[in-house]
A and B are shown apart, each in its own frame.
Chain A
Amino acid sequence: MAGKKLMKGNEAIGEAAICAGVRHYFAYPITPQSEVAEYLCWRLPEVGGAFVQAESEVAVGNMLFGAASTGLRTFTSSSSPGISLMQEAISYMAGAHLPVVLVNIIRGGPGLGGILPAQGDYFQAVKGGGHGDYRVGVLAPSSVQEAVDLMILAFDLADKYRNPMMLIGDGMVGQIMESVEFPETNREDNDPIKSDWALTGALNRKPRVVKSLFLNPDLLEENCLLLEEKYKRMKENEIRYELYKVSDKNRLLIAAFGTMARICQTAIDELEREGVSVGLFRPISLFPFPEKEIYAEAGKKNIEKILTIEMSVGQMVEDIERCVKGRKPVEFFGHTGGIVPTPNEVKDKVRESLGLKK
């Protein structure tokens, strides 16, 4: 896979997992991400791996649970309704400290919703989704190349923190074709035999148990605090974001992630030509969220407002408001249901926010 390739986002996500050393993938078909399974069903056997098409996403999540307990790298991909069905297993895997990667190529919801791109699963991904005191690390790519890079990072972070990681892309990231390069190195270096927790058979050691059950409240609290300590370390070390055309001249700062951020870049370029200076703050890690960073940017003197733009009715905007702490007014613009805001709509909203003529 050396050199540049033109690939669909979903297929590139599958190949990135192979680069990360994954040989086992479990999934259930759902639009708009079925190409991941259609790619890996032939690609994994080529590298000595296996794909299992599960009977449901409930089963997928629990197959991951079993597979991750071996200490080998494993992942699944799905779209919104499927990810809802996996929440049971995600909660259990977080409680059991299992490293695993899930990909959500988000479509419009709630319910069966639609099959077009959306970002309405932000709350589900970032705020929990399943039951109990846990978090999932969340990364949001805005291009096919970034989806590949973040996939590989997601496996490294899952192993580093022994916690589920989720890559969320809207349907656009999954369906778009772009040129992409894969890293040369194949990370087949995780050896479950060496780990001190993976289930490898209790031959010459004490039996190990992978579980999230702690009937003694002291022990359950201890486990939750252990999780919390990991999330604290993630907040200290794993903040990722990108600034675009951010300068002291900016009158307005747009906050957007994923595909929406790319569309905002186009609008920002065009506004610049009109003499309106706007910057973009693009969170890449949605959990941990770049809290201090957005607070600092919002404090810049010339910034009049923060405008959050999402492909939802407004979810990340609550985190932006939380982090800006009233330093500047936070406004929201978005479309949902599979409607993607256009650069012209973004420009109009910026002009309106700044009291400029349309």
Chain B
Amino acid sequence: MSNDSTVIFKRPESLSENITHYCPGCTHGVIHRIVAESLDELGLRGRAVGVAPVGCAVLIYNYFNTDFMEAPHGRAPALATGFKRCRPDMIVFTYQGDGDLASIGMGEIVHAANRGEKITVIFVNNAIYGMTGGQMAPTTMPNQKTTTTPAGRDVSLVGYPIRVAELLSTLRTPSFVARVAVHTPMHIVNAKKIIRKAFRLQKEGTCFTLVEVLSSCPTNWGMDPSAATKWVGDVMKPYYPLGIFKDPEREEA
């Protein structure tokens, strides 16, 4: 090997060297990396504190090289609020799934957003409960089969999937709310840009920031990884449109 070799790809400093427990084809690993790269690039690692959810990402603290709290199910935004109010100089982010944030934690996320807590929420929406074995989530697609909706989600009985980014963007309090996806390289590049922006806005003390990330769960969807990735684009994306719903740097309508 020549001495003038250049490093073009390496593990972000914000990620630990532990091997993740995630299933093949799961996109948590990609999202972890995007978050870690954002912290590195903005120089935030040394003053960042993450809040782990209950769900597949419950062990996220093993994979990050930052301080972490492990929250009760759904309560991560409340922990983040308490921490950030005491230490406004630190960078606080939650990493939550759809069962955690949109079901049991709906109260906490709405009020944290409405108070304008200067935190960053990474909301991973894979339309199912992963860790508990594939039950229906508030974000499960109409007719989607899960272990608690074996005949498919019947919207006449349980309603339609909740669009969290749209819901939170109705709040008057200034915030940054966006939805991205990570099922293709192009989408990953864009997701990185948006997540980095969310952390930059927190660094600048601007506002509450939330990025919803459409994710896949091949194991509980009963698909192979490539079919699952395709399903995100074909089925989830039309119902959950991508984009920035609220941006303090854009003039408010």
Residues of A participating in the B interface, judged by any CB pair closer than 8 Å: 23-24, 26, 50, 52, 54-56, 58-70, 72, 74, 88-89, 92, 96, 199-204, 207-213
Report whether A209 and B82 are in contact in the complex, using a CB–CB cutoff of 8 Å.
no
Taking the closest CB of chain A, its distance from the CB of B155, in whole angstroms, is 28
In the bound complex, what is the Cα–Cα distance between A207 and B82 (angstroms)? 20
Choose from B49, B86, B115 the contact partner of A201 (Cβ within 8 Å): B49
Report whether A64 and B82 are in contact in the complex, using a CB–CB cutoff of 8 Å.
yes
Taking the closest CB of chain B, its distance from the CB of A223, in whole angstroms, is 13
Contacts of B68 in A (CB 8 A): 199, 207-211
Known interface pairs A52-B115, A201-B90, A210-B69; A58-B75 also in contact (CB < 8 Å): yes
Contacts of A208 in B (CB 8 A): 67-68
Report whether B67 and A209 are in contact in the complex, using a CB–CB cutoff of 8 Å.
yes
Report whether B80 and A213 are in contact in the complex, using a CB–CB cutoff of 8 Å.
no
Among B71, B86, B115: residue with most chain A CB under 10 A: B86
| B40 on the A face (CB < 8 A) | no
In the bound complex, what is the Cα–Cα distance between A88 and B72 (angstroms)? 8
Choose from B66, B80, B84 the contact partner of A202 (Cβ within 8 Å): B66
| B250 on the A face (CB < 8 A) | no
Contacts of B69 in A (CB 8 A): 65-66, 69, 199, 209-211
Residue of B nearest to A64 (CB): B82
Nearest 8 CB-CB pairings of A with B: A66-B82, A203-B46, A66-B79, A211-B70, A62-B78, A63-B82, A67-B82, A55-B111
Report whether B58 and A213 are in contact in the complex, using a CB–CB cutoff of 8 Å.
yes
Report whether A54 and B111 are in contact in the complex, using a CB–CB cutoff of 8 Å.
yes
In the bound complex, what is the Cα–Cα distance between A64 and B115 (angstroms)? 17
Known interface pairs A56-B107, A59-B107, A209-B61; A65-B87 also in contact (CB < 8 Å): no
- The 19 sampled A-B contact pairs (Cβ below 8 Å) are A50-B85, A54-B78, A56-B107, A61-B78, A62-B75, A67-B86, A68-B82, A69-B83, A72-B86, A199-B68, A201-B46, A201-B48, A202-B66, A207-B65, A207-B66, A209-B67, A210-B68, A211-B61, A212-B70
Contacts of A210 in B (CB 8 A): 68-70
Residues of B participating in the A interface, judged by any CB pair closer than 8 Å: 16, 45-49, 51-52, 58, 61, 64-72, 75, 78-87, 90, 107-108, 110-111, 115
Taking the closest CB of chain A, its distance from the CB of B88, in whole angstroms, is 9
Choose from A62, A200, A203, A204 the contact partner of B72 (Cβ within 8 Å): A62
Known interface pairs A50-B85, A52-B85, A211-B61; A66-B67 also in contact (CB < 8 Å): no
In the bound complex, what is the Cα–Cα distance between A55 and B117 (angstroms)? 13
In the bound complex, what is the Cα–Cα distance between A72 and B83 (angstroms)? 10
Report whether A74 and B86 are in contact in the complex, using a CB–CB cutoff of 8 Å.
yes
Contacts of A74 in B (CB 8 A): 82, 86
Contacts of B48 in A (CB 8 A): 201
Taking the closest CB of chain A, its distance from the CB of B31, in whole angstroms, is 19
Taking the closest CB of chain A, its distance from the CB of B21, in whole angstroms, is 10
Among B68, B83, B84: residue with most chain A CB under 10 A: B83
Contacts of B70 in A (CB 8 A): 96, 209-213
Contacts of A66 in B (CB 8 A): 51, 69, 78-84, 86
Residue of A nearest to B54 (CB): A213
Report whether A70 and B67 are in contact in the complex, using a CB–CB cutoff of 8 Å.
no
In the bound complex, what is the Cα–Cα distance between A206 and B233 (angstroms)? 39
Contacts of B47 in A (CB 8 A): 201, 203
Among A63, A66, A74, A210: residue with most chain B CB under 10 A: A66
Report whether B67 and A62 are in contact in the complex, using a CB–CB cutoff of 8 Å.
no
Taking the closest CB of chain A, its distance from the CB of B91, in whole angstroms, is 8
Contacts of A88 in B (CB 8 A): 72, 75
Choose from A54, A59, A60, A67 the contact partner of B83 (Cβ within 8 Å): A67
Report whether A52 and B81 are in contact in the complex, using a CB–CB cutoff of 8 Å.
yes
